[in-house]
């Protein structure tokens, strides 16, 4: 355990921008990406070994695919990647300009569709979108975003959670799992930045009680919210920029957190040298197994 934090560093990865932790129940390992370091990683907590697989471009998120391999959301599009990290096929192109937009946070819905958003890198007034990918192709569902993030589903699949990080806001909307469509979004939680605290909602996961856990980028902590949007607890992380959480371990009661170190000031990195690492803590309420992406049948 780190001083003042319930989290231990389980992998001192020094990732530039660690993201998208995904627990594989079948393999009992944690997959994660380094977006700017351009790697897809397989971390085995039982041995401490991490295998980094080089990617050809920035990789924003991954999800596990039924039958093996990954769907990878990269800068130029969505791709199928095999278990050895070889890019096999492009499923969809990024409809935005890849010079200023890349795919970011993504998650499979409980019916096997892939939801994924983009990041408007120049933050030019909200050019990013949230998309759905299934047999209907890549369809934009929400526009006007700066950084699409925080995708998660309630345990009964009736709510979709979603955040826009630089807007300091988490939204939720009624989700129809039969069709992959949703109602208009409602503002669910809005954080108020201060001069000392620009913590904003990044990647997230929901536990079996329906509580929403979010990393606070530049906020150095993880928050847990009730389904009613009430802040229940906060847990400091030994990194200023935790990026996303995932439940793992045999009982899904280990909370893993990825983090970033890219662009952080020297004094902060001196104080928080494990920034960019993977952290973990035990929790009393487990998460849910991550659904597998079902490749659409043409």
Ligand X SMILES: O=C1O[C@H](CS(=O)(=O)O)[C@@H](O)[C@H](O)[C@H]1O
* Window 15 to 34, contacts with ligand X (CB under 6 A): 17, 19
Q: Which two tokens stand for residue 47?
A: 């041995």
Rounded CA-CA distance 58/118 in Å is 12
Ramachandran angles phi, psi of 219, nearest 5°:
-115, -5
Selected binder of ligand X within 166, 219, 277, 291 (CB under 6 A):
166
Rounded CA-CA distance 277/294 in Å is 31
Least distance from C-beta 58 to ligand X, angstroms? 9
Rounded CA-CA distance 97/94 in Å is 7
DSSP 293: B
Q: How many residues bind ligand X (CB under 6 A)?
A: 13
Active-site position among 202, 207, 266, 267: 202
Residue 98 binds ligand X (CB under 6 A): no
Least distance from C-beta 163 to ligand X, angstroms? 9
Long-range contacts, 165-170 (Cβ 8 Å, 24+): 165/200, 165/201, 165/202, 165/217, 166/123, 166/200, 168/192, 168/193, 168/200, 168/201, 169/201, 170/201, 170/204, 170/212, 170/214, 170/225
Residue 129 binds ligand X (CB under 6 A): no
Selected binder of ligand X within 41, 94, 101, 104 (CB under 6 A):
104
Selected binder of ligand X within 33, 115, 119, 246 (CB under 6 A):
119
Least distance from C-beta 226 to ligand X, angstroms? 23
* Window 224 to 253, contacts with ligand X (CB under 6 A): 243
Closer CB to ligand X, 60 or 180, in the complex = 60
Closer CB to ligand X, 122 or 137, in the complex = 122
Binding-site residue numbers for substrate are 102, 104
Residue 149 binds ligand X (CB under 6 A): yes
Please count the CA atoms within 13 angstroms of the CA of 214 that sit on its side-chain side. Answer: 35
Selected binder of ligand X within 202, 206, 247, 274 (CB under 6 A):
202
Residue 148 binds ligand X (CB under 6 A): no
202 belongs to the catalytic site: yes
Q: Which two tokens stand for residue 188?
A: 């669910």
Closer CB to ligand X, 96 or 202, in the complex = 202
The answer to whether the beta carbons of residues 100 and 120 sit under 8 Å apart is: yes
Closer CB to ligand X, 56 or 122, in the complex = 122
Q: Other C-beta atoms within 10 Å of 3: how many?
A: 6
Binding-site residue numbers are 19, 102, 104, 149, 202
Residue 147 binds ligand X (CB under 6 A): yes
CA dihedral 221, 21, 275, 204 (to 10 degrees): -20
CA dihedral 126, 198, 202, 153 (to 10 degrees): -90
**b/e map of 6-33 (b: 16 or more CB within 10 Å)?**
bbebbbebbbbbbbbbbbeeeeebbbbb
Least distance from C-beta 26 to ligand X, angstroms? 26
Least distance from C-beta 134 to ligand X, angstroms? 23
Give the binding site for ligand X (CB under 6 A). 17, 19, 35, 104, 119, 147, 149, 165-166, 200, 202, 217, 243
Enzyme catalytic residues: 202
């Amino acid at each position: 355990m780190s001083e003042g934090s319930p989290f231990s560093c389980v992998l001192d990865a020094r990732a530039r921008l660690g993201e998208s932790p995904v627990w594989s129940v079948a393999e009992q390992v944690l997959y994660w990406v380094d977006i700017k370091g351009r790697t897809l990683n397989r971390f085995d907590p039982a041995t401490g070994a991490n295998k980094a697989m080089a990617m050809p471009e920035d990789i924003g998120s991954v999800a596990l695919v039924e039958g093996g391999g990954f769907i990878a959301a990269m800068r130029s599009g969505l791709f199928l990647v095999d278990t050895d990290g070889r890019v096999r096929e492009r499923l969809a192109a990024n409809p935005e300009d890849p010079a200023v937009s890349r795919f970011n946070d993504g998650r499979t819905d409980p019916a096997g569709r892939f939801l994924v958003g983009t990041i408007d890198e120049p933050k030019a007034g909200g050019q990013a979108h949230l998309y759905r990918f299934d047999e209907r192709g890549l369809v934009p569902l929400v526009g006007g975003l700066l950084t699409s993030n925080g995708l998660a589903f309630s345990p009964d699949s009736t709510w979709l959670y979603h955040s826009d990080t630089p807007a300091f806001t988490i939204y939720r909307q009624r989700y129809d799992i039969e069709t992959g469509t949703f109602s208009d979004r409602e503002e669910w939680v809005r954080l108020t930045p201060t001069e000392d605290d620009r913590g904003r909602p990044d990647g997230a996961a929901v536990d079996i009680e329906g509580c929403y856990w979010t990393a606070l980028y530049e906020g150095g902590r993880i928050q847990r919210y009730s389904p009613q949007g009430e802040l229940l607890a906060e847990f400091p992380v030994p990194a200023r920029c935790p990026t996303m959480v995932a439940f793992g371990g045999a009982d899904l009661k280990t909370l893993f957190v990825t983090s970033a170190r890219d662009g952080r000031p020297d004094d902060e990195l001196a104080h928080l040298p494990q920034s960019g690492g993977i952290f973990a803590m035990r929790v009393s309420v487990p998460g849910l197994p991550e659904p597998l992406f079902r490749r659409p049948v043409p």
